Amino acid sequence: MRRLIAGNWKMHKTVSETREYIEKFLRLVEHPESREILLCPPFTSLYVAGEMLEGSGVKLGAQNCHYEKSGPYTGEVSPPMLKEVGCEYVIIGHSERRQLFGESDEVINKKLVACLEEGLRPILCVGETREEREAGMTFKVIETQVRLALSGIEEHTDRIDIAYEPVWAIGSGTPATPQDAVEVHTFIRQLLSEINPKNEGRTRILYGGSVKPQNAKEFMKHEEINGLLVGGASLDPESFAQIVYSF
């Protein structure tokens, strides 16, 4: 499976800023086929990004979606809407959604089901808080998040990627050590093979949390790390391109 390098822009960039970014970024992307490259702009930029990325080899993803196809859900966006503008991926259950917007494991599970039904590939985010890590709860927290998210869709673990994003490492400037990440990735890998042995090795496990051009290579040296989910350092096309080609 090709390794995946994904940029999560979060709530950054207007449509005109998106245009400017993608024009620059596409000039820097030399061999998109050697790895999978994904941009996840905000909803308002998806349409223009989809048009500009078409045929480039760089993929498009959303940062969230609703679990219904349509209906009275003011302010929400559905999987078919994302599909039509060219999205292939959707980030689901990011810790900011869990913490700031009250997303439960149950809602995250519904969103995963909805993405799979629409043929979108979800990137499920999991990760422990600092308090949970200090209390020795890391594996328990990750196991609960993974099991509840995948409940009822165990047969489709080959159509999902998982991003391990320790909450304390996100936006802090202090990433997990590659050793800590490898330990958790190995745990998730074992858990996945328990959940569905038939799909063994077919789910990518990405690391996210303060990834920068300076440290990306240290993570990508390890075969347990199948890619990166990058926040802040994906906002500049040059820095994101450096990360993409760091390994």
* Residues 10-69 contacting ligand 13P, CB under 6 A: none
Q: Of these, 61, 209, 213, 237, which contacts ligand 13P (CB under 6 A)?
A: 209
Number of residues that bind ligand 13P (CB under 6 A): 14
Is residue 17 among the annotated active site residues?
no
Catalytic one of 94, 96, 103, 185: 94
By CB under 6 A, is residue 230 in contact with ligand 13P? yes
**Residue among 171 and 201 whose Cβ is closer to ligand 13P:** 171
**Residue among 172 and 190 whose Cβ is closer to ligand 13P:** 172
Q: Three-state secondary structure along the chain?
A: CCCEEEEECCCCCCHHHHHHHHHHHHHHCCCHHHCEEEEECCHHHHHHHHHHHCCCCCEEEECCCCCCCCCCCCCCCCHHHHHHCCCCEEEECCHHHHHHCCCCHHHHHHHHHHHHHHCCEEEEEECCCHHHHHCCCHHHHHHHHHHHHCCCCHHHHHHCEEEECCHHHCCCCCCCCHHHHHHHHHHHHHHHHHHCHHHCCCCCEEEECCCCCCCHHHHHCCCCCCEEEECHHHCCHHHHHHHHCCC
* Residues 160-199 contacting ligand 13P, CB under 6 A: 165, 170-171
By CB under 6 A, is residue 208 in contact with ligand 13P? yes
Is residue 200 among the annotated active site residues?
no
Which chain residues interact with ligand 13P by CB under 6 A? 8, 94, 165, 170-171, 208-211, 229-233
